[in-house]
């Protein structure tokens, strides 16, 4: 079974953290950053948790958990060193319709806590369904190492200009193509003046129609042999002409909103002006 990934809005919502050891403490910062109203209950805290309580003026109840604490909570984290207590908290939370994380068991409770990469508004969450938390942490370091350096500034340009671009370009497809072109250029490490790059790109891109010429992709037996360039083009494709069998093979290379058309039906359709069309041919 897979988990359903989601990013929760916790601003001003009541969250209870039960347990103030290393794990309970690790849960605090992301909750604080998300603007939750945190109550921490534990007879003892690790030093770092004490520091966070003081710094952020968190409500700390220096005592054992009791069931009435769940009233008014939106979400609870069960991170004590007692598996029995953590399970009991999860059962009560489930009965009361409150989200619950159980630190010692991925299969109890209603969500698991992923490893997090936060870079401004870019938040990457990684998890392995509770199977390999240490691998999760190692993957975090690898992924963080390949992220572009000025991600925050790049996201800020998009946040500031999205409404303008919605007004400037009339279709989702044109807007997507605009942003794809802009971000592709911006991800080149030599380009860091994003405001200038944005203006330049805006002056170059138009909505004018042009003839659509399908590109052909000869599918190798082993998909690992697909060139990097072709993988990139497949990802940009707005329409692929593909048999049912090959569609399954290339599913992970094409976008969800890419149109799929069978070869025998292609003659009857009219691709959007400017559409990037790829005909898939089996080797
Ligand atoms: C289900 C989950 C709990 C949840 O959802 O709350 C869970 C469960 C358990 N972890 C255990 C052990 C360790 N966990 C870590 C580290 C992390 N564990 C995290 C998440 C999760 N761990 C959730 C699933 C995430 C997923 O799906 O991958 C991370 C990603 C996030 C975080 O906790 O903040 C964080 C990396 C933070 C980072 O750096 O990014 C380390 C290493 C270390 O501390 O460095 C060890 C010691 C080595 C070992 O034992 O493997 C044990 C056994 C305890 C015991 O033996 O008593 C259990 C219980 C069990 O499964 O038995
Ligand atoms: N998710 C993860 O990454 C990991 C999870 N774990 C699991 O997380 C749990 C907690 O681990 P640690 O923080 O290292 O434990 P810990 O022993 O350092 O801390 C336990 C905390 O729970 C509090 N506590 C105990 N009984 C309580 C009660 N009745 N009411 C309220 N608070 C109570 C203690 O005062 C203490 O603050 C363990 O079950 C462990 O198996 C352990 C390692 C990693």
- Using one digit for the tens of pLDDT, what is the confidence trace for 60-118? 999 999 999 999 999 999 999 999 999 999 999 999 999 999 999 999 999 999 999 99
CA distance 88 to 173: 50
CA of 125 to the centre of ligand 2 (A): 22
Ligand 1 neighbour 103 (Cβ under 6 A):
yes
Number of CB atoms found within 10 A of residue 165's CB: 18
* Centroid of ligand 2 to alpha carbon of 82 (angstroms): 7
Q: For residues 78 and 258, which has the higher predicted lDDT (pLDDT)?
A: 78
Q: How far apart are the first and last CA of the chain?
A: 35
Confidence check: pLDDT of 210 > 80: no
Q: Which atom of ligand 2 is nearest to the CA of 49?
A: 37
Q: How far is the CA of 74 from the centre of ligand 2 (A)?
A: 21
pLDDT on residue 120: 83
The band of 17, judged by pLDDT with boundaries at 50, 70 and 90, is: very high
Q: Complex ipTM, two decimals?
A: 0.94
pLDDT value of position 172: 86
Per residue in 231-254, is it b (16+ CB within 10 Å) or e — as a string? eebbebbbbbbbeeebeeebeebb
pLDDT over threshold 80, residue 273: no
Q: Encode 94-127 in three state secondary structure.
A: HHHCCEEEECCCCCCECECCCEEEEECCEEEEEC
- pLDDT above 80 (res 283): no
For residues 282 and 47, give the distance between their C-alpha atoms in angstroms, rounded to a whole number: 62
- Whose tokens are 């992220």? That residue is 147
Q: How high is the pLDDT of residue 282?
A: 84
Q: 80, 64 in Cβ contact below 8 A?
A: no
Q: Name the closest-CA residue to atom 31, ligand 1.
A: 115
Which protein residues are within 6 Å of ligand 2, measured from CB?
Answer: 18-24, 41-45, 64-65, 79-83, 85, 103-104, 133
Q: What pLDDT does residue 211 have?
A: 64
């Amino acid at each position: 079974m897979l988990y359903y990934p989601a990013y929760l809005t916790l601003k001003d919502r009541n969250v209870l953290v039960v347990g103030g050891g290393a794990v309970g403490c690790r849960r605090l910062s992301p909750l604080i950053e998300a603007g939750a109203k945190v109550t921490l209950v534990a007879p003892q805290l690790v030093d770092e948790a004490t520091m966070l309580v003081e710094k952020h003026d968190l409500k700390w109840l220096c005592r054992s958990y009791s069931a009435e604490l769940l009233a008014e909570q939106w979400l609870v984290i069960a991170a004590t060193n007692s598996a029995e207590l953590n399970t009991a908290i999860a059962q009560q939370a489930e009965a009361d319709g409150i989200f619950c994380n159980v630190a010692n068991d991925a299969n109890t409770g209603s969500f698991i806590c992923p490893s997090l990469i936060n870079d401004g508004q870019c938040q990457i969450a990684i998890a392995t369904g509770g199977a390999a938390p240490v691998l999760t942490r190692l993957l975090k370091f690898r992924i963080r190492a390949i992220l572009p350096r000025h991600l925050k500034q790049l996201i800020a340009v998009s946040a500031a200009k999205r409404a303008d671009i919605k007004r400037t370009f009339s279709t989702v497809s044109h807007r997507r193509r605009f942003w794809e072109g802009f971000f592709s250029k911006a991800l080149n490490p030599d380009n860091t003046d994003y405001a200038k790059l944005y203006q330049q790109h805006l002056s170059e891109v138009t909505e004018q129609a042009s003839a659509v010429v399908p590109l052909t992709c000869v599918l190798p037996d082993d998909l690992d042999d697909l060139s990097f360039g072709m993988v990139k083009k497949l990802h940009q494709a707005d329409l692929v002409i593909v048999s049912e069998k090959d569609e399954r093979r290339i599913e992970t290379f094409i976008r969800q909103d890419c149109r799929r058309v069978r070869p025998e039906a292609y003659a009857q359709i009219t691709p959007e002006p400017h559409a990037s069309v790829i005909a898939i041919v089996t080797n």
